[in-house]
Amino acid sequence: MAILGAINPMLSVGLDGDNAWRLADYVKRGGYVALRRILEQKLPQEYVINEVKKSVLRGRGGAGFPTGLKWSFMPRSFPGDKYVVCNSDEGEPGTFKDRDILRYNPHSVIEGMAIAAFAMGAVRGYNYIHGEVWEIYERFEEAIDEARAAGFLGADILGSGFNFDLFGHHGYGAYICGEETALLESIEGKKGQPRFKPPFPASFGLYGRPTTINNTETFASVPYIINLGGEHYLEAGKANNGGTKLFSVSGHVNRPGNYEIPLGTPFATLLEMAGGIRGGRKLKGCIPGGSSAPVVPAAAMMDCTMDYDSIAKAGSMLGSGAVIVMDETTCMVKALERLSFFYYEESCGQCTPCREGTSWLYKVVHRIEHGQGRPDDLDLLASVTGNIMGRTICALGDAASMPVQSFIKHYRDEFAYHIEQKKCLVPVDVQRAGSGFFTATV
């Protein structure tokens, strides 16, 4: 993938494919100016947190929680080390933006983490990088070395007396390690399993110390906020949805890839940037925020603008900004079967409703898809998802349930047809015609 297009970009300004990721390039683009200004002008910690609050930067990892507010939860006077942790685990199906940020603009993340550490008084940072993108982990380590050599990391940064060191850490590809507390367990060398909250990481985080976890893109946006000023950053987006965001567009579009656009940009614009639907076909539905987000049917989707509030109004979530586009050749039962398999497979197995429930969901959707569905199955799925949602340790239980509920809600006919007729409503040859995979191999 690559960053294929942008409107009023920030993160992707001045990038030149693989040729501009080094420290010198970043500095040329205005990099480390924000950190330098904060340290040299001895700006107070509150100043930084306030600018982030004013920017209404919302977490880019999935939940969209306001970042400035999250930072202000960190205890001020804590005797001992505090940590900042960057979540680059990026395992959500459809999401592939963080690895491009780390590949093409790693110093923005380093600078953002250093600023965050300064604002919260943290002395140490970790970036937890998805296990399957090894070369990106290596690149990040190289970028850290550059930053350390240039005095942007380590002891007494830029002579200011501020100490902060940063380390890369790579996972092994378990989706659950993207959940922030499982991620902390994993860094600690334990099995990646979410912790029960409360206590929240801000009071009991990494090694039991106050910790703030943010997504890669969240940290990467911070230097731009400090440079622009919080208010200007907010204006670059839309009220309550500050700034620009990277969207990973995948599925039945002509140009799948990452696009940086201001929050509030119409979905139609984004679709157009991605080259429109393949073969000029019609949109059937779209998952606008990564596989956990409820699916939105075509008409409602076309009315959306790409921001947290508009997508929420359409009954879904902006999530991580992974836009999965499905055209009319898609069998929604098969699509759901694949999603349900993912959640069943990736459940950490710790808590009863998710461990048992996700496999049950998958088995039922699987049998519907394979012509073994039973008349009660849709009620059964509704009941099982109801028994999972809100009753698990982490949000994976909800993430597994929401696709099931939304697919059945919006495409009930298709599921019913499958159960009754024991085959797809969308004829198989139509599905194959729409599938890049089958045209390539059949």
Partner 1 sequence: MEIEIDGKMAQVPDGSTIMDAAQQVGAYIPHFCYHKKLSIAANCRMCLVQVEKAPKPLPACATPATNGMRVFTHSELAVKAQQGVMEFLLINHPLDCPICDQGGECQLQDLAVGYGNSASRFQEDKRVVFHKDVGPLISMQEMARCIHCTRCVRFGQEIAGVMELGMANRNMHAEIMTFVGRSIDSELSGNMIDLCPVGALTSKPFRYAARSWELGRRKSISPHDSIGANLTVQVKNGVVLRVLPRENEEVNECWISDKERFSYEALNSPARLTRPMVRVDGTLREVDWNSALDYVAHALKDIVATHGGESFAALSSPQATLEELYLLQKLTRGLGSGNVDFRPRRRDFSNDGQLGGIPWLGLRFSEIKDLDAALVVGSFLRKDHPLFAQRLRQLAKNWGQVSMLSVGGDDPLIDLHAQVTVSPADLPLALARVVKAAAQFQGETIPAGLDSVEADATSQAIARSLLERNKRAIFLGNAAEQSPQAAQLHALALELARLTGATCGFIGEAANSVGGHVAKALPTALNADEMFAQPRKAYILLGVEPELDCYNPQQAVAALKEAALVVMLTPFNDGAAREYADVLLPTTPFTETSGTFVNAEGRVQSFNGVVRPLGDARPGWKVLRVLGNLLALPGFDYDSSEQVRAEIVPAGEGFVGGLSNDLERGAWLLADAGEGLQRVTDVPIYFSDPLARRAPALQKTRDAVAPTARMNADTLAAIGVTDGVPVRVRQGTGEAVLTARFDETVPARCVRVAAGHPSTAALGAMFGAINVERA
Ligand X SMILES: Cc1cc2nc3c(=O)[nH]c(=O)nc-3n(C[C@H](O)[C@H](O)[C@H](O)COP(=O)(O)O)c2cc1C
Q: Which residues bind ligand X (CB under 6 A)?
A: 59-63, 65, 87, 89-92, 176, 178-180, 213-215, 218, 394-396, 399
CA distances from 336 to 339, 369, 375, 415 (A): 5, 9, 18, 10
Is residue 58 a contact partner of residue 309, using CB atoms and an 8 Å limit?
no
Q: Which two tokens stand for residue 111?
A: 């600078």
Where does residue 18 rank: exposed (0-12), middle (13-18), buried (19+ CB within 10 A)?
exposed
By beta-carbon proximity to ligand X, the closer residue of 329 and 359 is 359
Type of residue numbered 79? P
Binding-site member from 65, 134, 172, 196 for partner 1 (CB under 8 A) = 196
What is the C-alpha to C-alpha distance for residues 194 and 186, in angstroms, rounded to an integer? 10
380 binds, among partner 1, ligand SF4, ligand X, none (CB under 5 to 8 A by kind): partner 1
Which residues between 87 and 126 bind partner 1 (CB under 8 A)? none
Binding-site member from 338, 355, 367, 423 for ligand SF4 (CB under 6 A) = 355
For residue 401, state whether it binds ligand SF4 (rule: CB under 6 A).
no
> Distance between alpha carbon 90 and the CA centroid of its chain, in Å?
6
- Give the binding range for partner 1 (CB under 8 A) out of 88-96, 283-291, 353-361, 426-434: 353-361
Type of residue numbered 84? V
Binding-site member from 68, 106, 194, 205 for ligand SF4 (CB under 6 A) = 194
- Give the binding range for partner 1 (CB under 8 A) out of 61-69, 81-89, 231-239, 384-392: 384-392
By beta-carbon proximity to ligand SF4, the closer residue of 141 and 398 is 398
Q: Which two tokens stand for residue 324?
A: 């999965």
Longest dimension (CA), the chain: 73
Binding-site member from 203, 387, 405, 431 for partner 1 (CB under 8 A) = 387
Three-class SS of residue 5?
strand
Binding-site member from 375, 390, 427, 436 for partner 1 (CB under 8 A) = 390
For residue 352, state whether it binds partner 1 (rule: CB under 8 A).
yes
Binding-site member from 393, 419, 424, 426 for partner 1 (CB under 8 A) = 393
Is residue 333 a contact partner of residue 408, using CB atoms and an 8 Å limit?
no
For residue 56, state whether it binds ligand SF4 (rule: CB under 6 A).
no
Phi and psi angles of residue 58, each rounded to the nearest 5 degrees, phi first: -110, 140
For residue 391, state whether it binds ligand SF4 (rule: CB under 6 A).
no
By beta-carbon proximity to partner 1, the closer residue of 180 and 307 is 180
Shortest separation between residue 355's beta carbon and partner 1, angstroms: 6
Sorted by sequence, the CB contacts under 8 Å of residue 108 that are 6+ apart come out as 11, 26, 31, 101, 219, 220, 223, 224
Q: Map tokens 């993430």 to a residue.
A: 399
Shortest separation between residue 377's beta carbon and partner 1, angstroms: 10
Binding-site member from 186, 248, 392, 401 for partner 1 (CB under 8 A) = 392
How many chain residues interact with partner 1 (CB under 8 A)? 30
By beta-carbon proximity to ligand X, the closer residue of 63 and 302 is 63
CA distances from 34 to 30, 224, 298 (A): 8, 8, 42
Is residue 47 a contact partner of residue 229, using CB atoms and an 8 Å limit?
no
For residue 191, state whether it binds partner 1 (rule: CB under 8 A).
yes
Q: Which two tokens stand for residue 420?
A: 């009754």
Q: Which two tokens stand for residue 247?
A: 């969207």
Q: Which residues bind ligand SF4 (CB under 6 A)?
A: 176, 194, 347-351, 354-355, 392-394, 396-397
Q: Which residues bind partner 1 (CB under 8 A)?
A: 174, 176, 191, 196, 198, 344-353, 355-360, 363, 380, 386-387, 389-393
